[in-house]
């Protein structure tokens, strides 16, 4: 079973977008802002909600930060993400169904993969340690 845990919006100005969502009542979660050189992001949560809002900004047009370089030119909704209990089982199911897996990796505390939905939408799946 899936349950939504975040929605990612790719923005052109992280500070401006963060200020906008804070005015709507969202609050920063944990660290206020993360910065990996070319990529900056911030997680916010609306009071009473389990779903995070992730704001994501690529600061340059270079391709070094993430393998999925096409995401750099997007604005608006970037992807929807889901928790899964077994990323390996899901990956096997997606591959056997010939679903396009566009990126796989790991970050501190979780492993993830991105796949394309039927209309080309980007869907993220994460298994947490």
**Rounded CA separation 39/98 (Å):** 30
**All domains of the chain in start order, with CATH:** 1-75 (3.10.180.10), 84-129 (3.10.180.10)
Q: What is the pLDDT along the chain (129 residues), one digit of tens a residue?
A: 777 788 888 888 888 888 888 887 889 986 556 676 778 888 998 888 888 888 888 876 544 344 455 666 666 777 878 788 899 999 998 999 888 999 999 988 999 999 888 767 888 889 998
User: Global pTM?
Assistant: 0.60
Q: What are the DSSP E strand ranges found in the chain?
A: 3-10, 27-28, 34-35, 39-45, 52-58, 76-83, 101-107, 110-116, 122-128
Q: Whole-number mean pLDDT of the chain?
A: 81
What are the CA-CA distances from residue 71 to residues 2, 18, 20, 55, 112 (Å)? 24, 20, 22, 13, 16
Region for residue 113 given its phi and psi (left: phi exceeds 0; alpha: psi -120 to 50; beta: otherwise): beta
- Give the burial string for 31-68 (b: 16+ CB within 10 Å, else e): eeeeeeebbbbbbbbeeeeeebbbbbbbeeeeeebbee
Q: Given the structure tokens 């997680």, which residue do they identify?
A: 43
């Amino acid at each position: 079973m899936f349950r939504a845990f975040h929605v990612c919006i790719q923005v052109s100005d992280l500070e401006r977008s963060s200020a906008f969502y804070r005015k709507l009542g969202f609050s920063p979660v944990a660290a206020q802002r993360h910065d990996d050189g070319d990529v900056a992001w911030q997680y916010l949560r609306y009071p009473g909600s389990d779903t995070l809002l992730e704001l994501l900004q690529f600061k340059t047009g270079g391709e070094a930060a993430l393998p999925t370089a096409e995401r750099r030119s997007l604005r608006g909704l970037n992807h929807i993400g889901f928790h899964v209990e077994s990323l390996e089982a899901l990956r096997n199911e997606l591959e056997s169904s010939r679903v396009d897996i566009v990126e796989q990796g790991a970050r501190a505390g979780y492993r993830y993969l991105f796949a394309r939905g039927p209309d080309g939408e980007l869907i993220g799946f994460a298994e947490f340690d």
